[in-house]
Amino acid sequence: MAFCSNCGTRLIEGAAFCPECGTKTWTGGASAQPSAPSPIQAQSPPAYEPPQQAPPRQPERVPVRFGPIHFEVVEKQTLKFLKAEFENSAVRYESGGMYYMKGNLEIESNLPSAGGFLKSMVTRENMVKPVIKGTGMVWFEPSFGDFTIMDLMNEEWILDRGAYFASEMGVDLGAYTNKTFSGLFSGEVFFQTRVSGVGKVVIISNGPLETIELNNEKLVVDGSFAVARQASVQLTVARASKGIFGSMLSGEGIVNTFTGTGKVLIAPASNRHITMVNYLSNIHKRVMQIKNS
């Protein structure tokens, strides 16, 4: 039952107006009641967030680029000198290897890491690798041995102990670990020097080097006169003949075996100066043994 909202008179079902005062009903029906307006929900303003500031841009580190080094091997009075010409260049070398230098040049020496210290102990190389920078000319210590200048082009080589002498800054130095048995019997010890990257590397040997190229082949060397090899060539130690008895009959015993594809640099014969020095050294040792006995 519905009543008029104005005068309270009972409304006839289905009437659109109140019969007493003529007030119009809300829905046109007797049972319709005006719906109460929904209250407006007050919305709280969003929390204030300060504008995010981008982190300060760190200045980009521009790699220091050095000019190329011009190396030259000069022979004087049976001795061989390594000469280097600098033009805003830098070179890393074995400690104590500098003879004299001229020009606007400076030497920097930094202590190595723990790994570099260990490597220097096992590879018979100096712990500190000084760096000469600037423009000028440098003469390095003379030697009776032979200097060989290698130009690496994104290559990786393994050098014999004591073979490294100097390199440009684009060449990285590291250590290569031989297998236990190979390092023990090959004469190359467990660690060797690894050089990789782009730039010139100077190695020193007892005699002129010969290049042997392997194409998935095997090279057997009776001795430790292999000075350098590409990292793609593996070094192993094996008996020259099958079985212990066969090795005893052949007289070869244990040999160094290089397998794979790549280059191997060997110095099969010492030059006449190294040969003479070794010969005189052996005589001196024998004389001292006789004297002490």
230 within domain boundaries: no
DSSP 145: S
User: Can you tell me the mean pLDDT for 72-86?
Assistant: 94
Residue 204 maps to a domain:
no
Rounded distance between C-alpha atoms, residue 188 and residue 271, angstroms: 21
Question: Which range marks the domain in which residue 284 is found?
Answer: 269-293
Amino acid 235: pLDDT = 87
**In one letter, which amino acid is 201?**
V
Single out the residue of 160, 167, 77, 172 nearest to residue 125, CA to CA. Answer: 160
Contacts of 182 (CB under 8 A, 6+ apart): 188, 235, 236, 237
Q: What is the mean pLDDT of residues 128-144?
A: 92
pLDDT of residue 60: 57
122 vs 171, more confident: 171
- The whole-number pLDDT of residue 233 equals 93
Tell me the pLDDT band of 38, cut-offs 50, 70 and 90.
low
Q: Which residue has the higher pLDDT, 110 or 132?
A: 132
Q: Is residue 181 part of a domain?
A: no
**Is residue 54 very low, low, confident or very high in pLDDT (cuts 50, 70, 90)?**
low
Please say if the pLDDT value at position 212 is more than 80: yes
Following CA atoms 102, 105, 110, 115 in sequence, which dihedral angle do they give, to the nearest 10 degrees?
A: -70
DSSP string over 69-111:
PEEEEEEETTEEEEEEEEEEEEEEE-TT-EEEEEEEEEEE---
What average pLDDT does this structure show over 35-55?
Answer: 61
Residue 130 domain-assigned? no
234-245: average pLDDT: 64
Most confident of 53-62, 113-122, 158-167, 243-252: 158-167
Residue 253 resides in a domain: no
If you search the block for the tokens 């220091």, which residue do you land on? 64
Would 218 be classed as within a structural domain? Answer: no
Q: How do 79-93 and 226-230 pair as beta strands?
A: unpaired
Which tops the pLDDT comparison, 19 or 181? 19
What is the DSSP code (8-state) at residue 55?
P
What is the share, in percent, of the chain residues with pLDDT greater than 90? 40
Q: How far is C-alpha 289 from the chain's CA centre?
A: 48
Task: Output 134 or 127, whichever has higher pLDDT.
Answer: 134
Classify residue 197 by its DSSP letter: E
Is residue 197 within 8 Å of 152, Cβ to Cβ?
Answer: yes
pTM of full prediction above 0.75: no
Report how many domains make up the chain.
2
C-alpha 44: how far from its chain's center? 59
What is the average pLDDT value for the chain, to the nearest integer?
78
- Six-digit token pair at 80? 């061989």
The answer to the question of residue 95 being in a domain is: no
Structural domain contains residue 7: yes
Q: Is 40 strand, coil or helix? A: coil
Q: How far apart are the first and last CA of the chain?
A: 141
Least confident of 63-67, 87-91, 265-269: 63-67
Residue 265's alpha-carbon distances to 109, 196, 243, in angstroms, are 31, 16, 29
